[in-house]
Structure 1
Amino acid sequence: MLGLNEAALLTLERQIALDFPDVTSLLVARHGQLAFERYFVGQAADPRDTQSVTKSILSLLTGIALQRGLLSSLEQPVLPLLAHIPATIQDSCWAAVQVRHLLTMTCGLPSELTDASYDDAWFTSQDPVRFALEYPLIDAPGTTFRYSNAGVHVLGAALAKAAGQPLATFAQDVLLGPLGVVTPEWPADPCGRPFASGSLHLTSREMLSFGQLTLQRGWWNDTELVPSSWIQQATQPQLQGFEWMEGIPDYGLLWWVAHENGTLGWYATGYGGQYIAIFPEHDLVVVMTGQVTDHPPHRQLIPELLTTVLR
């Protein structure tokens, strides 16, 4: 079974059913083949709210934009790309914010995870991008990691301007469509911009396709959809993130970088237990989804899978 221990997988399935009621699906692929697929809530065709897994997909879109010359470099200032937004910039430090800072969560905005009032204010504003741009930065750009949904939403708006088309259209044309994903649900802000920071809806198999694409260094059906060099760069540790979020210490370019029992892993993660986990050494991709609610974490099942399922 592609070098996987089938008995251990069945044991894991029973453990999830008994002890982890919030897990909704588990898929395991090795050597490019789907080896295990179970749905605990819903069916295979049901789209899942990927939450912040969307951020890692935005990273792939950024790599494509750089390859196509739509963005000049990671050091490109963000504000000129957002001049069309009627924001009154009150903090001159915004002029120093670069594309790289939005990808590494170091733009200087506060974190919604540690400031609930700020989270409510930006998410419910009539223009969340404008709200973010008009908000004072609490750190100098490039200095401090603060997990920022608003910052990634700003990046999405900048990427759309650079591409000359709505973000959802650009994503469909250059990435989703080639992977066989047809116009998925993607909630938008009041200005009609899809939330680049989260909630793109994908089936578990579609999530697996994104994991496989990343494992294959951006190649899909003999076509390089995402530059291989970008995959290499995005999955390299850039700085220390909020380890308390997922027990993963290192952050790349909108990707988390882990070492599970000495094995390198690249993670796209989302609230409620949404995961795409990629282990290049083992040619392995794991997708796990969960109820989008507050519940005990279940990421621990993935390193457990590594130790028990691999032969």
Structure 2
Amino acid sequence: MARVKYKLLLPFIVCSFASMGNEVSLTPVNTMAPTASDEEAIIRHWRQPEINREFWDISVLPQAFIDVKPAPRSDGLAVGELGVDGGKKANILALADELAKKQHGNFDSLLIHHKGKLLFESYYLRGRVDLSHPQSSVTKAYTGMLLGRAIQLGYLSMDDLGKPVAGFLNKLDASKFVDGAKQITLHQALTMTTGLRISDATRKSMMENPPLVKGQKEIQFLFENSAPITPESQSFYYDIGPQLIMQVLEAVIPGNIETFIETELLGQLNITNFHWKTAPSGLPESIWRSSLTSRDMIKMGILAANKGKWKDKQIINRDFMTRSTSKLITTGDEEIFGDGKDVSNQGYGYYWWSSDLQYKDKKYASVSAQGGGGIYIILIEELDLIIAITAHHVDHATQQIVAERILPAFIN
């Protein structure tokens, strides 16, 4: 049976929801997922001054692409059909209609993977199936996963997570460290509890003088110029941490760290359409400035949900991945990214956030990698659900949307 793509008759569908329950009327059209032009294909970050381009130079799609039966693309993702292999089609299409109309902000893509299959794929505005999208702070989760890969390959051990960062770096002068810096562990770097506090003026001097932070000088600079580290300062503080992890990786793995990223993490998932910028230290960025396609974000979500396993191969150490997606720290509900009335109990693991998403009287535990602009990989284990979202807006309620609109589509 030939595959058929569909375009929504949006006004009619809204009416049909009320009159026909979950039945949705669609009109077939001969269209494929939107792809990037040659000029757009080189735009993979929010700003790229080196080529005088920025994300906003990508043209806006003339209409949203919404697919309830995603195409197989020889990328390692199994595909299915929304409403046949799971999920309530009407619920998701109603949300897709609203996203297409920008009722929830500037979404670029929404993909839903359920029970082993990609069931829904949609692109809006500046989203493209073959264009790697800026990941912002989702990059932190990838940095942590690199460390988990190094542990799986034997370059580090789980016991090493409790050891000081400085012990892995042989070009540091500990005699110049502020009090407490010498004791900062990998675990503290992974949970954003290093206690390091850098003033704005000091941070500016780092940015304006790249030679100060080349190689391990970056860590020397941070450990010298932080305010003194105290038990009080070693609380959760969303700032310094991933840089320390990238430096340790550079020190312990054989060969080139860029090659390690390409072959030992992303390459294991057949991810080739990506970009990862270089930080002022000369190492790959660890906090932001990576880019992946939305389908490849789903793969990273599968890897995390499967405790580090892809297909039949353990890519990331299982214990490390389990710890990464666990709530190791309770961060409180005062500042929840993309929050709302049904989002609560926020916590943090190893660069993965956790929160409870409530529908009616039941709460569902979620884990997510989150990035500025509204970038998410969301895992909801109880429903076997993985959601990838790309966007480019500041104010949003994405987790609330998932709780209120996507959860009910997959709850029996």
Give yes or no for TM over 0.5: yes
Q: Which has the higher contact order (CA 8 A, sep 6+)?
A: 1
**Pair 1:9-2:122 in alignment:** no
1:16-69 Cα distance to aligned partner (Å, 9 max, x none): 222123111100001121111111023110111111111111222222222333
1:224 shift after superposition = 0.9
Identity between Structure 1 and Structure 2 (%):
26
**Pair 1:31-2:121 in alignment:** no
After superposition, the Cα gap between the structure-2 partners of 1:301 and 1:156, relative to the gap in structure 1 and judged at 3 Å, is: same
After superposition, the Cα gap between the structure-2 partners of 1:307 and 1:288, relative to the gap in structure 1 and judged at 3 Å, is: same
Aligned position for 1:167: 257
When the two chains are superposed, the root-mean-square deviation of aligned CA atoms in Å is 2.4
Q: Is the 8 A contact 1:105 1:151 kept in 2?
A: yes
1:86 shift after superposition = 7.5
After superposition, the Cα gap between the structure-2 partners of 1:88 and 1:139, relative to the gap in structure 1 and judged at 3 Å, is: closer
Q: Secondary structure at the match of 1:269?
A: strand
- Could you state the TM-score of these two structures normalised by the residue count of structure 2? 0.69
After TM superposition, the structure 1 = structure 2 runs for residues 218-233 of structure 1, keeping only pairs within 5 Å, are: 218-233=308-323
1:114-166 Cα distance to aligned partner (Å, 9 max, x none): x7656555455512544323322454368311111x32112111112111334
The 2-side partners of 1:265 and 1:124 are apart by 40
Mind listing any 5+ residue stretches in structure 2 that lack a counterpart? Answer: 1-82, 340-344
Mind listing any 5+ residue stretches in structure 1 that lack a counterpart? Answer: none
AA partner of residue 24 (structure 1): D
Aligned residues: 306
Aligned position for 2:351: 254
**Pair 1:52-2:137 in alignment:** yes
Q: Secondary structure at the match of 2:378?
A: strand
**Pair 1:207-2:297 in alignment:** yes
- Could you state the TM-score of these two structures normalised by the residue count of structure 1? 0.89
Q: Is the 8 A contact 2:105 2:396 kept in 1?
A: no
> Out of 67, 76, 92, which is 2:179 matched to?
92
1:260-310 Cα distance to aligned partner (Å, 9 max, x none): 12111110001110000011111110001111x534443322222343311
Q: Secondary structure at the match of 2:109?
A: strand
The 2-side partners of 1:199 and 1:242 are apart by 27
After superposition, the Cα gap between the structure-2 partners of 1:193 and 1:242, relative to the gap in structure 1 and judged at 3 Å, is: farther
1:162-217 Cα distance to aligned partner (Å, 9 max, x none): 11334322222211101111272111123321111112110011111000111122
The 2-side partners of 1:132 and 1:50 are apart by 25
After TM superposition, the structure 1 = structure 2 runs for residues 67-78 of structure 1, keeping only pairs within 5 Å, are: 67-72=152-157, 73-78=160-165
The 2-side partners of 1:276 and 1:135 are apart by 34
Worse-matched range after superposition: 245-254 or 280-289: 245-254
Aligned position for 2:387: 286
AA partner of residue 308 (structure 1): P
1:222 shift after superposition = 1.0
Aligned position for 1:216: 306
After superposition, the Cα gap between the structure-2 partners of 1:189 and 1:307, relative to the gap in structure 1 and judged at 3 Å, is: closer
After superposition, the Cα gap between the structure-2 partners of 1:184 and 1:106, relative to the gap in structure 1 and judged at 3 Å, is: same
Q: Is the 8 A contact 1:59 1:103 kept in 2?
A: yes
Q: Is the 8 A contact 2:177 2:220 kept in 1?
A: no
After superposition, the Cα gap between the structure-2 partners of 1:118 and 1:304, relative to the gap in structure 1 and judged at 3 Å, is: farther
Structure with greater Cα Rg: 2
Worse-matched range after superposition: 27-36 or 152-161: 152-161
Worse-matched range after superposition: 16-25 or 130-139: 130-139
AA partner of residue 44 (structure 1): V
Q: Is the 8 A contact 2:87 2:409 kept in 1?
A: yes
Aligned position for 1:272: 373
